[in-house]
Each structure stands twice: as structure tokens, then as C-alpha cells.
């Protein structure tokens, strides 16, 4: 299978020489370097403990991405995106590991005057992608009216087989029988959008229904959200409110979530100054579990939302808050915070940014964390057209009760990239 994929990509490049009018190729090579202390394992929450070196990590990784757009006919295109050699340096030998070709996008699009239809493996997001952020297989249809109406369906899991039988008998290789549950997991969503010269607004809804399966809880989750962004003169804004609810039939707990994000900023020449605010309700009810996004034990969901001055996305903040993200400082604890930031471009090739954030749990009875102060400094420099460097330093200082670990966490992050 790997050889077939490689041959296919080579064929794409070859065909592009003779069919430039039908095939567009793009992509990126990136190399990243990390030096982390007290941030725990990759993506895990900080442990704030200097007593062990297990959480001190220093490494490089890379990825080579190729995306293709094939023009089938007027308004009809086919899209494919492949990631090659996505690996940590020094963890493989002469060649990267088997199975290192990731096909994360493969869909067709029909874009006409009255509607846009996408079918296949694609990205799905609602609002600022705070509570709904997926890369999966499904259908996305937008009807282009004065109010853009979008509806979609995602097949998150087929339950391991095509049959809907929930009590299928199997045998292990050694002949031992076992029974597998194969109920499906589906996601449905809708968005009502409206735009004018001053603002863009979106009202959205999503529902996820997971049947009982091997290693997957039986549950349902509902999201209702409202998002708006715009610009009035030199002042811009972005705000979103999410309400989440549902229940987990396996753990017999109810899902709860109510969260707000706001960003107000001003642009004056080469200077941008803004402030972000965050609020999310926690819970101390033993029969409830806080959620901040539809994240029902699925590999289809991408990173949690980490705004902080627009610094989100493959950077140091991926490590600062771990899997819970900005809306849940600790399990069921919620969040209240403010994060002023500034960005300046002293020259066309260079952008310097910094922010300081202060956060407290909204429900402090479920955690011994009193507060956390976060600081980030970032520099982005373009070496040449489509070639650049990024560098970041992140620091988080906790205030912890009851003898908990309160050593600060810090880390450096660098990235070299070439877009093509």
C-alpha cells in the first residue's frame, strides 16, 4: 500500500508538467525544535514539579506535506493532502518508519452559484473552532442565500464493521471467543451565517451520538454556539459563546459546559494591541463532568482551543494547558482569565509579539490550583519569500494550595518552514 501511495504522488508531479491548467500542487516542509521543562508528556498538562527530569524534553521533529487540487470541471474540484516523514529526529534509521504517509484530506467539492458541497475526508469547524474542531469523513453542504445555511453529517465511527449487530461473536488467533459491540457514532451539525461590511455572525448547533462500542462510552453530546467578529475603524472584535450538554450512559454522568471568549483589539500602523477574556463554568456536582468541546473519545478531534493573542497552532501553548485547554484549568474547574497582548512589525519581514495572561479556576472547590500566570514571547521572521523562522518562549507560574507542586514550567520552541 505504501508503494502504491508513493507511486501515486510521483504520478501527480509528473502529470502536473503536462496538465498545469488542471492540477495545482502546494505544501510545506517544516522542522521544529522543542526544549521543555515541567510540561509533562506531549500534550499533557504541566506537572509543575522540578524533582524529576522525566518531564525535561529536548528534541526535533519534521513533516513534509503535499496538497493537490484537481480541476474536474467548472466549479468541480478534487482535493488530496498527504503528509510524509512526520517523525521525531533520531527515532528512526536510514528511512522513516512504515506507514508514515498520512492521508488527512481526500474529498471532492462542487462549488456553484447557489451552493457548495464537499464530500469525503475533510476539515469541519464551527465558529472559532473552540468547541467543534474535527478532521473526519462526511458531507458538508452550504446553501448560498443572504443567510448562508450549512448542514453536515460526519461518520465518526462505523463501530469496527459494517454490520449494525451489537453482539457479534469473534475468535482471537488462539481460538478464544469474544464478543464485540459495533454500534455507530455519528455527528450532525448546522450553521446559520450572516455577513455584512461590519461583522460576520454565526449561530450553530452540533449533536454527537455514540453507540456502545469496544473501548468507547455510550453517550450523546449537544453544542449550541453563537460567534461574531468584525472591524469598526481601527477597532476589531471576536466573541463566541458555547453551551454544551449531554449524558454518558456508561459512566452515568451528565455533561455540562458554558463558556465565553472575547477579543478586542486595535490596529494602528505597525502596532496591534488587544485583550482577550475567558470564562468557563466548572462543576462540583459528582454526577456531572465539564466539557469544553465535543470530544467523545475520538481521534477525529484536533487540538483544544488555545487563543492567547493568536498564538495558537503548533506552538509552545500546546504544552501549557494540555488536553483540557484554556476553558478547563483542571478537571471540572472551569476558568476565568484575562490576557492582554501586543504585536509589532518593525519591518516587513519581522513580527514581534508578546502577552501576559492571568487565570483562575471558576470552581475552586475541585482543585488545589489557585491561579496561573502565563507569559509568551514570539518572533516571526521571513528569510525569503515562502521561507521563514519562528521562535517562542513560554512561561507558566502556578499558585497551588495544600502542598501541591508549584514549580514554574517553561519552554522554547523554534520552527523552520518552506511553503511551496
Summarised one tens digit per residue, pLDDT across range 358-401 is: 999 999 999 888 998 989 899 999 999 999 999 999 898 989 88
Residues of the chain with pLDDT > 70, as a percent, come to: 80
The confidence score (pLDDT) of residue 320 equals 61
Domain region containing 298:
2-76+85-230+238-266+285-322+343-352+374-419
Name the phi and psi angles at 133, rounded to 5. -150, 95
**Strand, helix or coil for residue 8:** helix
Nearest Cα neighbor of 150 from 120, 122, 116 is: 116
Is residue 163 in a domain? yes
Is residue 280 within 8 Å of residue 261, measured between CB atoms? no
- The widest CA-to-CA distance across the chain, in whole angstroms, is 72
In a domain, 369, yes or no: no
Overall number of domains in the chain: 1
Q: Does 96 reside within a domain?
A: yes
Residue 412 included in any domain: yes
Return the residue matching grid coordinates 457514532: 185
Examine residue 276 and state whether it is found in any structural domain, yes or no. no
Q: What is the CATH number of the domain that holds 36?
A: 2.40.160
**Is 316 among the domain residues?**
yes
Do the beta carbons of residue 200 and residue 226 sit within 8 Å?
no
Counting as low any pLDDT under 50, the low residues of the chain are 17, 43, 311-314
Helix segments in 173-279, DSSP class H: none
Adjacent-strand bridge partners of 89: none
Q: Is residue 368 part of a domain?
A: no
- CA-CA distances (angstroms) from residue 311 to 114, 278, 305, 392? 36, 15, 11, 10
Q: Does residue 332 form part of some domain?
A: no
pLDDT for position 314: 44
Which grid coordinates belong to 23?
492540477
Task: Please write down the HEC assignment for all residues of 161-208.
Answer: CCCCCCCEEEECCCCCEEEECECCEEEEEEEEEEECCCEEEEEEEEEE
Alpha helix stretches (DSSP H) within 227-335:
317-320
Instruction: For 40-76, give the secondary structure using H, E and C.
Output: CCCCCCCCCCCCCCCCCEEEEEEEEEEEEEEEEECCE
* Spatial separation of the C-alpha atoms in residues 357 and 310, rounded to whole Å: 13
Give the torsion sign (CA, 202, 244, 304, 278): positive
Name 409's bridge partners.
396
Amino acid at each position: 500500500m505504501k508503494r502504491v501511495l508513493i507511486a501515486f504522488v510521483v504520478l501527480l508531479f509528473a502529470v502536473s508538467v503536462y496538465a498545469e491548467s488542471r492540477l495545482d500542487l502546494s505544501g510545506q516542509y517544516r522542522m521544529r525544535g522543542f526544549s521543555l521543562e515541567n510540561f509533562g508528556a506531549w500534550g499533557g498538562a504541566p506537572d509543575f514539579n522540578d524533582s524529576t527530569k522525566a518531564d525535561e524534553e529536548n528534541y526535533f521533529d519534521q513533516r513534509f506535506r503535499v496538497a493537490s487540487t484537481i480541476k474536474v470541471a467548472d466549479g468541480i474540484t478534487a482535493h488530496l493532502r498527504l503528509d510524509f516523514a512526520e517523525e521525531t529526529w533520531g527515532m528512526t534509521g536510514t528511512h522513516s518508519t512504515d506507514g508514515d504517509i498520512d492521508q488527512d484530506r481526500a474529498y471532492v467539492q462542487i462549488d456553484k452559484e447557489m451552493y457548495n458541497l464537499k464530500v469525503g475526508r475533510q476539515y469541519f469547524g464551527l465558529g472559532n473552532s473552540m468547541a467543534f474542531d474535527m478532521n473526519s469523513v462526511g458531507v458538508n453542504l452550504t446553501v448560498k442565500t443572504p443567510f448562508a445555511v450549512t448542514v453536515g453529517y460526519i461518520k465518526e465511527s462505523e463501530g469496527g464493521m459494517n454490520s449494525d449487530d451489537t453482539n457479534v461473536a469473534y475468535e482471537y488467533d488462539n481460538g478464544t471467543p469474544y464478543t464485540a459491540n459495533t454500534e455507530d457514532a455519528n455527528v450532525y451539525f448546522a450553521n446559520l451565517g450572516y455577513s455584512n461590511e461590519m461583522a460576520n455572525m454565526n449561530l450553530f448547533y452540533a449533536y454527537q451520538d455514540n453507540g456502545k462500542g469496544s473501548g468507547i462510552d455510550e453517550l450523546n453530546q449537544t453544542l449550541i454556539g453563537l460567534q461574531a467578529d468584525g472591524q469598526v475603524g481601527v477597532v476589531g472584535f471576536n466573541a463566541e459563546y458555547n453551551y454544551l450538554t449531554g449524558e454518558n450512559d456508561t459512566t452515568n454522568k451528565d455533561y455540562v459546559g458554558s463558556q465565553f471568549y472575547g477579543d478586542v483589539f486595535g490596529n494602528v500602523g505597525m502596532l496591534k494591541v488587544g485583550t482577550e477574556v475567558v470564562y468557563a463554568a466548572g462543576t462540583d456536582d459528582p454526577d456531572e463532568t465539564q466539557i469544553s468541546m465535543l470530544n467523545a473519545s475520538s481521534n477525529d478531534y484536533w487540538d483544544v482551543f488555545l487563543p492567547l493573542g493568536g498564538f495558537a497552532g503548533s506552538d509552545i501553548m500546546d504544552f501549557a494547558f494540555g488536553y483540557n485547554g484554556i476553558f478547563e484549568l483542571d478537571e471540572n474547574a472551569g476558568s476565568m482569565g484575562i490576557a492582554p497582548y501586543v504585536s509589532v512589525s518593525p519591518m516587513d519581514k519581522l513580527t514581534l509579539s508578546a502577552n501576559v495572561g492571568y487565570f483562575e479556576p471558576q470552581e475552586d472547590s475541585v482543585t488545589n490550583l489557585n491561579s496561573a500566570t502565563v507569559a509568551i514571547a514570539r518572533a516571526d521572521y521571513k528569510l525569503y519569500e515562502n521561507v521563514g523562522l519562528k521562535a517562542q518562549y513560554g512561561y507558566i507560574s502556578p499558585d497551588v494550595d495544600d502542598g501541591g507542586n508549584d514549580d514554574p514550567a517553561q519552554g522554547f520552541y523554534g520552527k523552520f518552514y518552506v511553503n511551496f
